[in-house]
Amino acid sequence: MEEVTNRYRHNQKLEEACTVLLNEIVEDPKREGLLRTPYRFQKAMQELTVGYHQNLSEIVGEALFHEDYSEMVIVRDIEFYSLCEHHLLPFFGKAHVAYIPNGKIIGLSKIPRIVNMYARRLQVQERLTDEISAALESLLGPQGVACVLEGNHMCMMMRGVQSQSSSMITNSMRGSFLNDQKTRDEFMKLISPRG
């Protein structure tokens, strides 16, 4: 991730926004422990929202290949970290992504990169799940795409209801994963926690 963050210049407005925030919560931005916090904040915000500066063609490059393989391809347990657009608090978890090729496959590392690109924006989990599926569908034209996200939301854990053990599961099924119960069942079985 360091190579991505290095291309951004110092953002004075984000730094000033952090100073305003510190003042508004009745903190002293000149206190020793907070002296460099606005600077660190602006760097962190740029890294946490780097997805706005990325696109699919940049992420995937030339990693699309013609292949006759036609069985399910699954990448499971992809860690993701995002910011809830309602509270700007983190949510994080694991993504499980599958597709059934239709003459074209994608380089293995590109699927986690796609997940990360959409996660590194202000998000809701439902939209994030659907964006990942839509991206693979547009890139590959596969027989089907499936995406399941399991997320823990700090906006629910730290504030409001303060429910620490709850998690959210969302899914997006397209093509054969949506229309064929057997295909969907096989996918769900393969991503279930190992016994």
The correct CATH number of 2-48 out of 1.10.530, 2.20.130, 3.30.70, 1.10.286 is: 1.10.286
Instruction: Catalytic residue, from 123, 125, 147, 150: name it.
Output: 125
Residue reference for tokens 């504030």: 159
Residue 88, pLDDT score: 96
> Are 2-48 and 63-191 the same fold in CATH?
no
Catalytic site includes residue 86: yes
- Element spanning 73, H or E: strand 73-84
Catalytic site includes residue 53: no
Residue 6, pLDDT score: 53
Percent of the chain topping pLDDT 90: 88
Tokens encoding 165: 């053990």
Instruction: Catalytic residue, from 67, 79, 85, 126: name it.
Output: 85
pLDDT in tens, 163-181: 878 899 999 999 999 999 9
Catalytic site includes residue 155: yes
pLDDT of 147 above 90: yes
Instruction: Catalytic residue, from 27, 47, 53, 87: name it.
Output: 87
Catalytic site includes residue 96: no
Q: Which candidate, 92, 106, 186, 104, places its Cα nearest to that of 146?
A: 186
Instruction: Catalytic residue, from 15, 27, 137, 155: name it.
Output: 155
pLDDT in tens, 100-111: 999 999 999 999
Class assignment of domain 63-191?
alpha beta
Catalytic site includes residue 84: yes
Contact (CB, 8 A) for 121 and 49:
yes
pLDDT of 92 above 50: yes
Q: Per-domain residue ranges for the chain?
A: 2-48, 63-191
Catalytic site includes residue 85: yes
Residue 160, pLDDT score: 84
The pTM of this model reads 0.92
